[in-house]
A and B are shown apart, each in its own frame.
Chain A
């Protein structure tokens, strides 16, 4: 099973992407999508040595909702800051310690932090224990770290690692 179908989840996602690309839901396209979704993971296997498992689909759904909400909010906040007084911004580099162990979890966290208000991931420490982030306007560094950890890291850890 493991050898015949290395990444079942990836197969489904790729099939859906194929359907979206071809912009149709014809049976033929679905079959082709599944075929591609089955074949591509074999070539990409080296990039995905870990098995990807979603432990709590509901948390994932909730996380996606929070993320979407934050992305919209981030757009407004950043727009206001650009239109406001850029001299008054207090940018900072912040080292955020992370507890995630999986590559995928870390990638998502770094990716998320970039889409959400005021932060940008800049560097992953070589020991993989912290991510260096750049914040656009930060008042309280500890509060910033706390937000990242509780709002994004905790659900990610629940979804991909527990």
Chain B
């Protein structure tokens, strides 16, 4: 493996690790449940993305042909991260978890507890 490739891969891996770390750091630094959700859902997509690009380039350069199933991990991540965040936020609203700002209209939450299943997005 030549030196250019090695440097490129190292940069990608370090950047990826950095973003993933900052995303997780958000859990400790941010101040309420709802803002904490933002860190891991957004801060990590680029982090994991960089790691996966690095993995894809590395395995493609090993001579076994193009390695693309990393794309799938990215895809699944993009689908699952927002859904878990949505569900966490929704249950937090339902349980009236404390927030820095006033919680939205109680009416929405109350109506929500009565609605039929399969009516919402999840």
Contact = CB atoms under 8 A, between A and B. Distances in A.
B10 interface: no
Interface in B19-40: 19, 22-23, 25-26, 29-32, 34-35, 37-39
A122 B42 contact: no
A158 to B, nearest CB: 21
A71 interface: yes
A117 B115 CA distance: 30
Interface residues of A, number: 43
Interface residues of B, number: 52
Interface in A105-150: 106-107, 110-115, 117-118, 120-126, 128, 132, 134, 136
Nearest to A17: B72
Interface of B: 19, 22-23, 25-26, 29-32, 34-35, 37-39, 41-43, 45-47, 65, 67-69, 71-72, 75, 78-79, 81-83, 85-86, 89-90, 93, 99-105, 108-109, 111-112, 115, 119-121
